[in-house]
Amino acid sequence: MKKNDNVIVLTLGCSKNVVDSEKLIGMLSANGFTLTEDIRKAKTCIINTCGFIKPAVEENLQVVLDVVNRKIQGELERVIVSGCMVERFKESLINEFPEVDLFVGVESAEQIVRFLKPDDDFRINLIGGRQLLTPNHYAYLKISEGCNRECSFCAIPKIRGLLRSKPIEELLDETKKLSEKGVKELIIISQDTSSYGVDLYGKPMLIPLLEELTKVEGIEWIRLMYLYPAGLPEGLIEFVQNEPKMCKYFDIPLQHISDRILKSMRRGTTKKRTIELIEKIRTKIPNAVIRTTLIVGYPGETEQEFKELMQFISDYELDRVGVFTYFREDGTYAFPLGDTVPEDIKNLRREEILKLQSQISLRKNNALVGKKLKVLIDEKKNGVFAGRTEFDAPEVDNLVYVRAQKHKVRVGDFVEAIIARAKHYDLYGEVC
Ligand code: SF4
């Protein structure tokens, strides 16, 4: 192996890509490569890409171009491009970037390592060999790959393939290893968490999986993300209600509320059933937080249908809301519908929802002033600790800024904090 074989891995896109990169980095280290976070020190650069929607693709192409230019200037010896963008556009990427040494799709860690060390013996280092890119006290657990659903706007099934659930034993092993590394919060991710197990076991197996994961010592919080609304496993809400380690947190992407649009989106649910689900969660677990994502500007979305969505948000006051404008993506079922809502209208609608939601969020945060909350400390900035409650996922939800005058607090600690002040998306408090 050549002396300076520093490798840098650039991870773009979602938390599922983060897990893929963590496995790749673990395998590179196990095979003797040195990882660097400084591209000037690297000889090999691997870009793990996202290819989900147009703006992400444009951003990723820019990163590839920058890195290829570094190679042309002799700063890098090898460039490898992997991930979702390659799954979608491999042929055109090969033509556009002949300087790139290897293009590989998703889940390609072994292929990449074998390419970088063709002669040397290869060490597999699978289970637990992840090198976390998140702070050591929380980690994502990707329980399956791919998706069997056919949401009309979505290209992911074409990128990541059909649903492939990972065996419970394998996930349990991975979780034990993560706990040994100091992980306290386990964030369950996939494309469609509700469907876990239907491929491998012929029936939904999310609850049996969670029953095993909650037994792992050291894991104190388990958070569920990407729950498909029309397929929530029977008994899941009650399981979350009764299991102390389960965060009272439901990330359920709803996308819209109008029955005509939900039908066109092939979401397999209705306004009535969506409202029933929200009410059931709130009845069983009154303090539960519901996060969702919505799409505005879907082909044919009328002003009336948008108003219906606004009314729904206003009436049901979801706790955390992300809003995307619709992107017409090649190869999706919605592609033939065209892109009928003008961009400025899409952006206006997105702004209107965010404005309404910020008022809802402020009201809910103000109601927490004076309350004592359990906070997991993620980082320390300028003497102030920033953390999250069980009601907030990393990167996307609210932060809690806490001062710890008299207490010794470290990153990764759980603390009790009294909330003194609130803003739209952040809370401020004191460790008690
Ligand atoms: S559930 Fe729908 S939106 Fe999510 S990855 Fe599958 S097809 Fe795409």
Question: How many C-beta neighbours within 10 Å does residue 297 have?
Answer: 24
Region for residue 302 given its phi and psi (left: phi exceeds 0; alpha: psi -120 to 50; beta: otherwise): beta
Tokens of 372: 């004592």
219 within some domain: yes
Q: Do 35 and 168 belong together in one domain?
A: no
- What confidence score (pLDDT) does residue 125 get? 55
Kindly give the distance from the C-alpha atom of residue 431 to the centroid of ligand 1, in angstroms, as a whole number: 40
Pocket test for ligand 1, best of 156, 164, 335 (most atoms within 8 A of CB): 156
Over residues 354-360, the mean pLDDT reads 98
What is the position in ligand 1's atom list of the atom closest to the CA of 150? Answer: 7
Cβ atoms of residues 79 and 67 within 8 Å: yes
Q: Which tokens hold the place of 348?
A: 């206006």
CA distances from 246 to 16, 154, 242, 250, 373 (A): 21, 29, 8, 10, 16
Is the pLDDT reported for residue 128 higher than 60? no
Expressed in angstroms and rounded, the spacing between residue 155 Cα and the centre of ligand 1 is: 8
Final residue in a domain of this structure, among 366, 386, 409: 366
Q: pTM of the prediction?
A: 0.95
Same domain, 277 and 388: no
- Cβ 364 vs Cβ 319: under 8 Å: yes
Instruction: List, chain by chain if needed, residues with CB within 6 Å of any ligand 1 atom.
Output: 147, 149, 151, 154, 156-157, 191-192, 228
Question: Domain check: are 101 and 198 in the same one?
Answer: no
> Which of 243, 192, 191, 201 is closest to 222 using CA atoms?
243
CATH number of the domain enclosing 327: 3.80.30.20
Name the pLDDT band for 129 (thresholds 50, 70, 90): confident
54-58 CB contacts, 8 Å cutoff, 24+ apart:
54/327, 54/329, 55/327, 56/12, 56/13, 57/85, 57/88, 57/89
Determine the distance separating the centroid of ligand 1 and the alpha carbon of 34, expressed in angstroms.
36
Q: Please, is 79 exposed, middle or buried when counting C-beta atoms within 10 Å of its C-beta (0-12, 13-18, 19+)?
A: buried
Domain count, the chain: 3
- Same-domain pairing of 217 and 358: yes
> What domain range is 65 assigned to?
6-116
| Ligand 1 atom nearest to 255, measured from its CA | 3
Same domain assignment for residues 315 and 412: no
Helices then strands, each counted (H, E), the chain: 12, 18
| Ligand 1, atom 8: closest residue by C-alpha | 154
For 130-180, the pLDDT digits (tens) are 999 999 999 999 999 999 999 999 999 999 999 999 999 999 999 999 999
- Per DSSP, the three-state class of 69 is helix
Is the domain of 25 the same as that of 88?
A: yes
Residue 131 placed within a domain: no
- E strands, 88-207, are 102-103, 138-142, 144-145, 164-165, 185-189
Assess if residue 261 is contained within a domain: yes
CB-CB neighbours of 311 under 10 Å = 11
Taking the centre of ligand 1 as the mean of its atom positions, its distance from the CA of residue 384, in whole angstroms, is 38
**Do 409 and 362 fall into the same domain?**
no
How far apart are the CA of 395 and the centre of ligand 1, in A?
A: 21
308 has a pLDDT exceeding 80:
yes
pLDDT at 5 (0 to 100): 74
CATH number at residue 44: 3.40.50.12160
**End residue of a domain, out of 366, 401, 421:** 366
Same domain for 105 and 214:
no
Residue 108 sits in the same domain as residue 142: no
Residue 209 counted as domain residue: yes
Domain contains 130: no
79 inside domain: yes
Q: What is the pLDDT of residue 73?
A: 97
Same domain, residue pair 196 and 298: yes
Residue whose CA is at the smallest distance from ligand 1 atom 5: 191
What's the pLDDT tens digit per position in 81-99? 999 999 999 999 999 999 9
Q: What CATH code is carried by the domain that includes residue 382?
A: 2.40.50.140
Where is the domain boundary, 351, 366, 381?
366
Check residue 120 and give its pLDDT: 63
Instruction: Write the residue with the smallest CA distance to atom 4 of ligand 1.
Output: 191
Average of per-residue pLDDT values in the chain: 95
Whether residues 358 and 235 share a domain: the answer is yes
Q: Answer whether residue 143 is part of any domain.
A: yes
Residue-wise pLDDT for 238-256, tens only, equals 999 999 999 999 999 999 9
Q: Could you give the CA distance from residue 24 to residue 417 in angstroms, rounded to a whole number?
A: 38
What are the CA-CA distances from residue 258 to residues 195, 242, 267, 300, 307 (Å)?
A: 24, 33, 11, 12, 10
- The Cα–Cα gap between 354 and 350 comes to 6
Residue 210 lies inside a defined structural domain of this protein? yes
Shared domain for 240 and 92, answered yes or no, is no
Could you tell me the distance, in angstroms and rounded to a whole number, from the CA of residue 150 to the centre of ligand 1?
Answer: 7
CA distance from start to end of the chain:
54
